[in-house]
Structure 1
Amino acid sequence: MVKIHNKVVYGGPALSIPGHLNFGQFVLDELRKICETKADCVALINGETGEKTTYKILLQGLVNIGSGLRKLGVKRGDVVALCSENRVEYLAAALGALTCGACITPLNAQYTKDEMTHVLNISKPNLVLCSAAAIQANYATFKTLPFIKTIIQINGVPIERNVLSYKDIAVQTDVQDYEAEDVQGSTDICYLLYSSGTTGLPKGVMLSHVNVLYSLAYFNEREDLIEDITLLTVVPWYHAYGLMSTVNYILVKKKLVYLPGFNPRVYLNAIQEHKVNVLVAVPPIVVFLGKSPLAKQYDLSSVFAVWCGAAPLTSDTINDALKSLPNCMGVFQGYGMTETSLAATTDADIEKSKPGSAGYPLKGVKVKVVDLETRKRLGCNETGEVCLKGPINMKGYAGNDAATREMFDDEGYLKSGDIGYYDNDGCFFVVDRLKELIKYKGSQVPPAEVESVVLEHPGVAECAVVGAPDDAAGELPTAFVVSKQNVHLTQKDIIDFAAQRLSSAKRLHGGVIFIDAIPKNPSGKILRRVLRQQLKQYRKSKL
């Protein structure tokens, strides 16, 4: 179905979505339909505790909390925030709020006070649902913001007098009598999510009901998602990838094992115990599977596919991971961003899969690659900025019209900020971030390319490359390296290894800094701004 015309790659005819354009109504309709035949089938399993949640329990839970939120006055146009580790009540509350016509905004409970204040001032929720741990960490911040009128604690006894109990709020309601509030699906906001903030402060990404329904339509039509499979996810639900993939998998009747956080042994044991078939992963997990000796100690033979998003993987990293997964057909990547309602391209077609690629545009999506300077469209195998258009594109950034305008070009394409190209088949390869390119003596150095080379060293566990400012050269490629356990490496080991495999401009002219861990956001993207700050401090200490 993929076509290339006038230097634009077309994914084919658009997918169908319900005419009511109401995601909350769709959730109710779909869960009711599932419960007609699979009410007592397990939808979710907590991989840490073993707690199982059936479709019937999930539907009843979201209807009860939805009724309770309505009694509190939650209505169309309101913003409801959620701040918690992954837990069933989180999903029930999120879906229940959507049926009230509200927009939901998930918060990272690990935000600093300044980060939390920043994102809350974007979304301005009047009600926040939190776990006990999240309230303990953030209550003081919540109380400083006048627009937050109500705080509900999801689990345990409320730790503050003014905090309401989730159990007390929920109202027992007949699931057949409960209906979703009407919305204007093409304009009303369903999810207000936050950009990753890898290069600056997060922005509030507004996804409409149409955006979210279209993302779900892609999951519905994927033939690879056979019904009787079990998936494992550890991606936090406050992240677009975590929340949207989890909700979508539930609505297409897949059993999902979830974890509140990543612990290597717990993760591997969950695969073994629940005979997981598909891993919903981020790059650090794929690297872990390929490099950790722990992976050899568990039975991972049930895994037949790995879906990975958030950042590009190299063929070498994929091949290393497959050695730990004896029956796995492949590690398949999707490419997208919060601003594109999750995936924009996907490598899901096993017959057409190209290891290391981002795959082909979704149906209804158009993608072009443009020259960084002239903005002219480029042809096959020419590298430039990837730009996207279709029903996946966000409505815009909340309260930031200037940033919204800057994000779209004069043809209505969303400017991704990613550097990539497509081949003769219309298959895309993403090689780096535009803002992360290192400029060394006029040459553009993609950090991901240097990182993939350094990761080939048998003693390296993790690597991230940034540019160190330099008066003469502009920027010097500098590697932050995590050594494997009980392996002693020197700067010279890494510099010499890279020099044998990279052209002159791409070599590690800024040297190597050994650290204990590479800072990443929850989706696995390297936080290069944090590394640049560390680099400044490191260079000061050497003066």
Structure 2
Amino acid sequence: MQYSTRFDANKKVWFGPSSDFKIDKQTNFGDILLENLNDTDAERVIQINGDTGETLTKAEVRKRTIRCAQNLIRLGCKQNDCISIISRNHHNLTPLLYAAICIGSPVSPLDVVTVKDGISLILQRVRPTFIFCDSDVLQTIKETTTDIGLNTKLFTVNGSLNGFDSIDSLMVETGTEDSFVCAKIADACLQTAVISCSSGSTGLPKSICMSHALFLNMFSNRISQFPFISLSFSSLYWLSGIWASISPAFKNTRIFTTKPFSAELFYELVVKHKIQFFFGPPCQMQAFLKSEQCAKADLSSLLACFIIGGFIPSVLVQTLKKFHPKCSMLTGYGMTEIGGGASCTAPNELEEYPNSVGRLVPGAKMKIISEKTGEKCGIGKEGEIYVKIPVPAIGYYKDETATRSAYDSEGYFISGDLGYFDESGRLIVVGRKKEIFKNCGFSIWPAELEDLIIKSPAIKEASVVSVYDDEAVTDLPAALVVKQDNCSITENEVYAIIADQLPSYKHLDGGVYFVDELPMTPSGKVIRYKVQKMAQKFYQQRKCGL
């Protein structure tokens, strides 16, 4: 699908096509989900477990959704009670997500990878009434809730444990399924459906509230209603995982897996299930295009790969086109803070314009603000991207100060990204103004790593930045370290400080480099972009064996 972007030279604002979406403020998004699940083709399979082959039809998902909603209410779940999900993908998470939306209970998904990584901060913030988690992390979650004084009911998702109910117990017959109605909501623009995690500009994770109206708008878009057989390795923790779980209620058939991404598993699922649409980050695309199976596997079913969450090297586009010419690589510009995408490329656009993230989607607006002058920029002029979409996220959960500071006086979200528009209305993103970066889609907050490193008595100063690895197609954490006088510490010992305490994606795989001093401003602040240039140079030298 190709959009057009219009530039108003007087206002210096770019506009996407007009949107015909009309908000009915009393509409519960759950009503739309149940309505779609109750129309024609009730026996059509809409979800397949790629690990086991188990399937769910539209009718089965609808039945489980209603039963789950009714059983949650029976257990005392009230409108606005938060439900947290800390689990890998599972069949019953889809009806659980739908059920929570139906009864007006916000869902706060977390990833099992983050369990030992600041999860208490988020649980303490959202205070969930119910938590659904995998059995292998349940004990850790139980200890965490006890530590923060959170009285919550825990359910297992992928199996059963003595003393804990399973998610399956909520799918049992109630006898009153035919009389179920969704909760009434006062304002779809203010009623939270999902609370997603994001890094925030300060480096600490914030929780972003996404409304019923946001999802009503998202799934009114025609691109969300194409009859694709789709594959994504994302869990509900990611907005892409939320989209993948909701889309089967419309036209898609979703293939999911509980296993982590690998090139071998990707090929196996694509070939077995005739996948047509793949959704994932550049590092996953790089892995399967560089694998031995790339030139051999029958990927004739694959029509499009939508790649988000990082820069896409032109070699990826070229390699895909070489081996699978009928498959288009697509990308776009968006973020959790605004509740989704603001631009999208057309099929085959990346072949001619490899740095493009496309043109604006219907209803989106953007302006580019000069870092030097604070004025609006024109065509071809680089500045910070300010973005506005028809139905934005509500804001940061219980943090009005952060919400207000994230937007300008005209209601545009201040992205922290740098870019410009070309003469054809394509948005080109050139880099991040923010300090936060991502390793294979996982956000990394430098201050968190620095705080741990600097605790060593042998270390005077430390600055953590990203270095780009063109083989892995992702940013890796690296540290520049200044030793204390007359103290000794090795690179391996610094690496172990992080490796022993944080998840693998935060390990200093970009390297540890000792320097005499860090570049500083006159006021004593680290000049991060200079640190990053130094780290990138050191990393490239190390890779070349210098």
1:27-48 superposed Cα distances (whole Å, 9 cap, x missing partner):
1122112xxx211111011122
Give the corresponding residue for 1:22. Answer: 28
Q: Distance in 2 between matches of 1:167 and 1:511?
A: 49
Q: Percent identity?
A: 26
- The question of whether the paired residues in 2 share the 8 Å contact of 1:283 and 1:312 is answered with yes
Aligned counterparts, 1:107-186, within 5 A: 107-159=110-162, 161=163, 163-173=164-174, 175-183=177-185, 184-186=187-189
Give the corresponding residue for 1:533. Answer: none
- The question of whether the paired residues in 2 share the 8 Å contact of 1:82 and 1:128 is answered with yes
- Confirm or deny that 1:418 pairs with 2:446: no
Q: Distance in 2 between matches of 1:3 and 1:410?
A: 22
Structure 1 residues 207 and 337: alpha-carbon distance in aligned structure 2, compared to 1, 3 A threshold: same
Structure 1 residues 372 and 154: alpha-carbon distance in aligned structure 2, compared to 1, 3 A threshold: same
Amino acid at match of 1:74: C
Task: Please list every run of 5 or more consecutive structure 2 residues that lacks an aligned counterpart in the other structure.
Answer: 438-464, 483-494, 496-531
Q: By how many angstroms is 1:254 displaced?
A: 1.0
Q: By how many angstroms is 1:462 displaced?
A: 4.7
Q: By how many angstroms is 1:69 displaced?
A: 0.3
Alignment counterpart, residue 209 of structure 1, candidates 209, 212, 227: 212
TM-score (norm 2): 0.77
Aligned counterparts, 1:44-63, within 5 A: 44-63=47-66
- Confirm or deny that 1:84 pairs with 2:83: no
Give the corresponding residue for 1:512. Answer: 540
Secondary structure of the residue that 2:220 maps to in structure 1?
Answer: helix
- The question of whether the paired residues in 1 share the 8 Å contact of 2:58 and 2:249 is answered with no
Amino acid at match of 1:177: S
Q: Distance in 2 between matches of 1:213 and 1:134?
A: 33
Give the corresponding residue for 2:245. Answer: 247
Q: By how many angstroms is 1:65 displaced?
A: 0.7
Amino acid at match of 1:14: S
1:136-165 superposed Cα distances (whole Å, 9 cap, x missing partner):
442221333333321122343234x2x223
Q: By how many angstroms is 1:176 displaced?
A: 3.9
Structure 1 residues 392 and 186: alpha-carbon distance in aligned structure 2, compared to 1, 3 A threshold: closer
Q: How many residues align?
A: 457
Structure 1 residues 172 and 465: alpha-carbon distance in aligned structure 2, compared to 1, 3 A threshold: closer
Amino acid at match of 1:102: S
Q: Distance in 2 between matches of 1:115 and 1:197?
A: 14
1:455-481 superposed Cα distances (whole Å, 9 cap, x missing partner):
3xxxx455647786699xxxxxxxx9x
Q: Distance in 2 between matches of 1:395 and 1:226?
A: 28
Q: By how many angstroms is 1:74 displaced?
A: 1.3
Q: Distance in 1 between matches of 2:45 and 2:436?
A: 46
Give the corresponding residue for 1:497. Answer: none
- The question of whether the paired residues in 2 share the 8 Å contact of 1:291 and 1:321 is answered with no
Q: Distance in 1 between matches of 2:304 and 2:116?
A: 39
Give the corresponding residue for 2:303. Answer: 304
Structure 1 residues 469 and 251: alpha-carbon distance in aligned structure 2, compared to 1, 3 A threshold: same
| RMSD of equivalent CA atoms | 2.9
- The question of whether the paired residues in 1 share the 8 Å contact of 2:101 and 2:193 is answered with yes
Q: Distance in 2 between matches of 1:354 and 1:178?
A: 51
- The question of whether the paired residues in 1 share the 8 Å contact of 2:94 and 2:246 is answered with no
Give the corresponding residue for 2:489. Answer: none
Amino acid at match of 2:13: V
- The question of whether the paired residues in 1 share the 8 Å contact of 2:110 and 2:236 is answered with no
- The question of whether the paired residues in 2 share the 8 Å contact of 1:381 and 1:422 is answered with yes
Structure 1 residues 198 and 317: alpha-carbon distance in aligned structure 2, compared to 1, 3 A threshold: farther
Give the corresponding residue for 2:17. Answer: 12
Q: Distance in 2 between matches of 1:181 and 1:209?
A: 12
Give the corresponding residue for 1:442. Answer: none
Secondary structure of the residue that 1:88 maps to in structure 2?
Answer: coil
Structure 1 residues 322 and 410: alpha-carbon distance in aligned structure 2, compared to 1, 3 A threshold: same
- The question of whether the paired residues in 2 share the 8 Å contact of 1:15 and 1:214 is answered with no
Alignment counterpart, residue 95 of structure 1, candidates 84, 93, 98: 98
Aligned counterparts, 1:133-532, within 5 A: 133-159=136-162, 161=163, 163-173=164-174, 175-183=177-185, 184-196=187-199, 200-218=203-221, 221-222=222-223, 226-227=226-227, 229-243=228-242, 245-260=243-258, 261-328=260-327, 330-348=328-346, 354-436=353-435, 451=468, 455=470, 460-462=471-473, 464=475, 508-512=536-540
Give the corresponding residue for 1:67. Answer: 70
Structure 1 residues 469 and 370: alpha-carbon distance in aligned structure 2, compared to 1, 3 A threshold: farther
TM-score (norm 1): 0.77
Q: Distance in 2 between matches of 1:67 and 1:332?
A: 40
Q: Distance in 2 between matches of 1:278 and 1:16?
A: 25
Amino acid at match of 2:215: V
Structure 1 residues 114 and 234: alpha-carbon distance in aligned structure 2, compared to 1, 3 A threshold: closer
Q: By how many angstroms is 1:437 displaced?
A: 10
Structure 1 residues 210 and 389: alpha-carbon distance in aligned structure 2, compared to 1, 3 A threshold: same
Deviates more, 1:354-363 or 1:462-471: 462-471
Q: Distance in 1 between matches of 2:285 and 2:381?
A: 28
Give the corresponding residue for 1:42. Answer: 45
Q: Distance in 2 between matches of 1:198 and 1:112?
A: 22
Deviates more, 1:421-430 or 1:143-152: 143-152
Q: By how many angstroms is 1:8 displaced?
A: 1.0
Q: By how many angstroms is 1:121 displaced?
A: 1.5
Q: Distance in 2 between matches of 1:514 and 1:426?
A: 40
Q: Distance in 2 between matches of 1:397 and 1:355?
A: 33
Amino acid at match of 2:235: P
- Confirm or deny that 1:31 pairs with 2:31: no
Q: By how many angstroms is 1:511 displaced?
A: 4.3
